[in-house]
Amino acid sequence: MFLEGKRALVTGSTSGIGLAIARALRAEGALVTLSGFGDAETIAALKDELSAPHIAADLSTRAGVEEMMGAAGPVDILVNNAGMQHVAPVESFPVEMWDKIIALNLTSAFDACRMAIPHMKAGGWGRIINIASAHSLRASPFKSAYVAAKHGLYGFTKTLALELATSGVTANCISPGYVWTPLVENQIPDTMAARGLTREQVMNDVLLAKQPTKRFVQVEEVAATAVFLCRDEAGNMTGANLSIDGGWTAE
Ligand code: NAD
């Protein structure tokens, strides 16, 4: 349990990848704070399972991120994971959806980091793990806001790594390909509409078409990578963008 005594905040940890990361960090002894939305019963069960407080702030607003950071207190491990997707052509992309995706997927990481870094620097140890995406390195049509935000998140992470290089704090991206979570499931109907395809065609010809391994990434694979980044052996790994994408970006 190499993370005993460490405090970790995982944004968007009531579901999918964030939840798997929260579970994996907790299993190594970290004190985890949960964030994100969900029904009261599910959240109560997760708080119980992980002996963790939960903060339901809306991270698509600066006030929401500030509320979360205030409630969480100082953290040693910050995982910026909360994110959302919207699929539409640029010319009909809802402008308020563009603003929300940039705010949640990119600006919330900046705000959480600027508030978390002073404690990490003072202690001489910290881990910032930004959950980016294969879309931080590659584009797909109809995902303009998401692709822009994730490319931005990678650029932000590289800047953090340089600024923090001698402080004992590392900053890295993990970039999954398609992981079977509600975020992917929910974009299937819009992708069907945008491309005129059936559900099966979207799954096989759009999503898995990108991944040479022909299988979805598992949330546990992403979580294991996040745990590795917290090890002392990963202390010289910073500014990296770790792909877990079944070979997508190898092409
Ligand atoms: P998910 O929809 O299962 O979980 C998203 C989490 O974010 C939930 O806990 C949700 O409550 C929270 N959230 C959503 N909007 C929020 C808001 N406004 N304020 C606070 N919390 C909010 O999604 P997921 O697939 O686990 O995605 C997690 C991250 O991984 C995202 O950043 C996503 O872009 C990234 N990612 C996912 C995939 C994939 O294929 N699923 C691939 C690459 C990257």
Over residues 135-179, the pLDDT tens digits come to 999 999 999 999 999 999 999 999 999 999 999 999 999 999 999
178 is known as an active-site residue: no
At residue 207 the predicted structure's pLDDT band, cuts being 50, 70 and 90, is confident
Mean pLDDT, the chain, rounded, equals 97
Confirm whether 36 is domain-assigned. yes
Set 146, 154, 156, 216: catalytic member: 146
Looking at residue 191, what is its pLDDT?
87
The residues lining ligand 1, judged by C-beta closer than 6 Å to any ligand atom, are: 12-18, 35-38, 58-60, 81-84, 104-105, 131, 133, 176, 178-179, 181-184
* Token pair belonging to 36: 């994100």
Looking at residue 186, what is its pLDDT?
87
Confirm whether 20 is domain-assigned. yes
% the chain with pLDDT above 90? 92
CATH code of 159's domain? 3.40.50.720
Confirm whether 183 is domain-assigned. no
At residue 190 the predicted structure's pLDDT band, cuts being 50, 70 and 90, is confident
Confirm whether 26 is domain-assigned. yes
Confirm whether 185 is domain-assigned. no
Looking at residue 63, what is its pLDDT?
98
Instruction: Report the range of poorest mean pLDDT among 9-18, 58-67, 192-201.
Output: 192-201
Q: What is the DSSP string of 219-235?
A: HHHHHHHHHHHTSGGGT
Confirm whether 194 is domain-assigned. no
> Residue 59's domain spans which residues?
7-178+218-243
Q: Within 10 A of 182 (CB to CB), how many other CB atoms are there?
A: 9
Confirm whether 208 is domain-assigned. no
Confirm whether 51 is domain-assigned. yes
% the chain with pLDDT above 70? 100
Distance, CA 11 to ligand 1 centroid (Å)?
9
Provide mean pLDDT across the span 38-62. 98
Q: What is the DSSP string of 161-191?
A: HHHTTTTTEEEEEEEES-B-SHHHHHHHHHH
Evaluate whether 13 touches 36 at the Cβ level (below 8 Å).
yes
Domain count, the chain: 1
Over residues 94-135, the pLDDT tens digits come to 999 999 999 999 999 999 999 999 999 999 999 999 999 999
Instruction: From the CA of 178, give the closest atom in ligand 1.
Output: 40
Any idea which residue has 């640029």 for tokens? 90
